[in-house]
Structure 1
Amino acid sequence: MTNVLASQAVLFDLDGVLTDTAAVHRRAWSVLFTEFLPTVAPDAAPYTDADYFALVDGKARSAGVRSVLASRGVSVPDGSADDPPDAQTVHGLGNRKNVRFTDIIRGDGVEVFEGSLRVVDLLGAAGIPMAVVSSSRNAVLVLETARLLDRFQVVVDGVTAERDQLAGKPAPDMFLTAAKELGVEPARTVVIEDAVSGVEAGHRGGFWVVGVDRGTGVAALIEAGANEVVTDLANLLEGDSSR
């Protein structure tokens, strides 16, 4: 079992690890593709949560759109990042999903997992540096809404990745950038992730990876490279994990 207090730093994914916003993402993606796919591929299989975990979870927004469309044999132009939400392009569809997501967040707020907050509190009290590494372009909004932003010395998110031209997960670049900014070594740093693509990114970067099973499944997380898997971050304080 990982002793997080013995690490140089801890790098957290956001959605599904610190906050229950993964459920909001699933809802927003479902609305998008349930509305859109029948208009371009009426005979295609309906979009389900299984598609979210297999094709979208942990990826940059545009990559998620491409993955789902490709799975249904649909192709649309990429367009550009500033495409309006009604544009029938990869970026337009991604922006349409983002409108759904931000509307839900602003209306309903953000729920923080109690076990995750306990770990963050413990690490903060011990002076262990922490970062959030998220593919989401909404990471700062979510952290601010959850009143967590001041807990983390570094945030590397979708905005950072676009600005600095970092490859998204499952490439390790975003985690390696966070480690560099914190001045820590990957081999002595813990990554905590709930998505297969994020676990793979941490593993490829040489980090010790803790997978959090919020529905992806223990076997899938271990196959992606997790050194151990928990069902809640509180398990890290209680000595309960799977390998």
Structure 2
Amino acid sequence: MSQIKAFLFDLDGVIVDTAIYHYQAWKRLANELGFDISEEFNEGLKGVSRTDSLDLILAHGGLTLSDEKKTELAAQKNDWYLELVSRMSSNDILPGVATFFSQVRQAGLKTALGSVSKNAPLILERIGMTDAFEAIIDGTKISKGKPDPEVFTKGAAELGVSPAECVVFEDAVAGVEAGKRGGMFVVGLGSPDTLAQADLVAPSLESLTVETVLTACS
């Protein structure tokens, strides 16, 4: 019998895919600074905090800016991003998510969101999934971004369960590492080559059942 009591979910790439909106906003910023970023480069920003993403983009463009200017640019990018995500709706929930969450409820498992995004509550509200989580840990509640495990260990603590009783669902390398460092069973959603560190890898929640996950944990 599985000892698992809780499922902890990343938001981006697991429940919704706002990567395209992040890309559009970062690309606009890079273009205004006089250079460009590719979709391939943007892949490396997945699961990385806004501040660290900006540092990577500036390094890519060969720019060194003051902290004050960087704060201003990060805020500008976020404004552009929020313009895009404010138009989101339940139609933006990824395929299979509703069915999977229905199974999670039937199994009596606790749920938490573990996202480094400070916009996670807004996105959950827009897609109508705020009530799907008993705990919501976002960028405003943590001091360290992934791959530090803080976002998931705080989620477990808020749910009143131990890390060994948790399964983390992640699509990013940094997120998978965070879950593993937190002492949790990690399901990677995406490519087995990219997410080799995960305990179980599947293309998406659509291709999984709760039973499959619990069996893999036991």
TM-score by length of 1: 0.80
CA positional deviation for 1:151: 1.0
For residues 19-30 of structure 1, the aligned pairs below 5 Å read: 19-30=16-27
Residue deviations 1:71-109 (CA, integer Å, cap 9, x gap): 333221222xxxxxxxxx222221111111111122344
Secondary structure of the 2:178 match is: helix
Change (3 A) 1:205 1:144: same
2-structure distance, mates of 1:78, 1:226: 35
- Which residue number corresponds to residue 219 of structure 1? 193
Secondary structure of the 2:164 match is: helix
- Which residue number corresponds to residue 107 of structure 1? 87
For residues 57-136 of structure 1, the aligned pairs below 5 Å read: 57-79=46-68, 89-109=69-89, 111-136=92-117
CA positional deviation for 1:6: 6.0
The count of corresponding residues between Structure 1 and Structure 2 is 211
Contact 2:114 2:138 in 1 (8 A): yes
2-structure distance, mates of 1:202, 1:34: 35
Percent identity, aligned pairs only, is 36
Q: Out of 200, 204, 217, which is 1:232 matched to?
A: 204
Q: Out of 132, 135, 138, which is 1:157 matched to?
A: 138
Change (3 A) 1:100 1:151: same
RMSD of aligned C-alpha atoms?
Answer: 2.0
Secondary structure of the 1:220 match is: coil
Contact 1:18 1:117 in 2 (8 A): no
Secondary structure of the 1:234 match is: helix
CA positional deviation for 1:18: 0.5
Gaps of 5+ in 1: 80-88
2-structure distance, mates of 1:33, 1:125: 46
1-structure distance, mates of 2:76, 2:158: 32
Secondary structure of the 1:99 match is: helix
Contact 1:191 1:209 in 2 (8 A): yes
Residue deviations 1:218-237 (CA, integer Å, cap 9, x gap): 21211xx2112111112222
2-structure distance, mates of 1:94, 1:31: 12
For residues 24-43 of structure 1, the aligned pairs below 5 Å read: 24-36=21-33, 38=34
Secondary structure of the 1:219 match is: coil
Change (3 A) 1:122 1:239: closer
Higher relative contact order, chain-length normalized (CA < 8 Å, sep 6+): 2
Which amino acid in structure 2 is aligned with residue 58 of structure 1? G
Residue 207 of structure 1 pairs with residue 184 of structure 2: yes
1-structure distance, mates of 2:59, 2:165: 38
Deviation above 6 Å: which 4+ runs of structure 1?
none
TM-score by length of 2: 0.89
- Which residue number corresponds to residue 216 of structure 2? none
1-structure distance, mates of 2:169, 2:203: 12
For residues 3-14 of structure 1, the aligned pairs below 5 Å read: 7-14=4-11
Change (3 A) 1:108 1:183: closer
Gaps of 5+ in 2: 214-218
